[in-house]
Amino acid sequence: MTQTALILVDIQNDYFAGGRMALPGMEAAATKAAAILDMARDKAYPILHIRHIAPADAPFFRKGTEGSEIHDTVASRDGERVVEKARPNSFVGTGLDDILRADGVEHLIICGAMSQMCIDATTRAAADLGYKVTLVSDACAAAAVSFDGVDVAADQVHAAIMAPLAARYATVVKAADLSVPA
């Protein structure tokens, strides 16, 4: 039987209304992530909360601030690991791969934020490391971006990231369609 783990990436206060980098749709994404977290707890999956910690001069997720804390909708419980990172890729410098391999994990369910940064980097790295990845698209949130005079809305950024991840790196599903082994 394939061991599955849930990875909740950067569902932190600064991404919510009133935070330093509020994302459109973050409340809805966190609500979906909370439901997935409940399912993972029911199935006794290993659960890893990824928390981005930035230096004091960073625009958000500043070390020691309320904004860097994991949001209450998906707060960790006893026995659930919190892995701190300093880069978009949750595997870089964190020991995450070692933790997962020690638990015999072969399949990851990933959700969180931001789609175009940490979700993209973590999903690609997980697939490159040989994990089977299920990415829950509506349990993720993106930011609007601008480049070279072109403004791109958050929903378009999100779709532009999910499409290539679905093409090569993960099975991309909606929370309602998430189906994983018991």
The CATH number given to whatever domain includes residue 13 is 3.40.50.850
Provide the pLDDT for residue 2. Answer: 72
Domain residue limits at 166: 3-177
Reply yes or no on whether the pLDDT at 35 is more than 70. yes
Distance separating alpha carbons of residues 97 and 115, to the nearest angstrom: 21
- Residues 43-68 have a mean pLDDT of 96
Domain assignment of residue 182, yes or no? no
Domain assignment of residue 76, yes or no? yes
How many domains does the chain contain in total?
1
Domain assignment of residue 90, yes or no? yes
| Segment 132-178, tens digit of pLDDT | 999 999 999 999 999 999 999 999 999 999 999 999 999 999 999 99
> What would the two tokens of residue 46 be?
């290993």
40 close to 3: Cβ distance less than 8 angstroms: no
| Segment 69-125, tens digit of pLDDT | 999 999 999 999 999 999 999 999 999 999 999 999 999 999 999 999 999 999 999
Distance separating alpha carbons of residues 21 and 162, to the nearest angstrom: 21
Domain assignment of residue 100, yes or no? yes
Statement: the pTM of the whole predicted model exceeds 0.85: yes
- Residues 15-33 have a mean pLDDT of 98
Domain assignment of residue 85, yes or no? yes
Domain assignment of residue 107, yes or no? yes
Q: Which is it for the CA torsion 164, 168, 170, 173, positive or negative?
A: positive
- Residues 37-47 have a mean pLDDT of 96
> What would the two tokens of residue 25 be?
């749709």
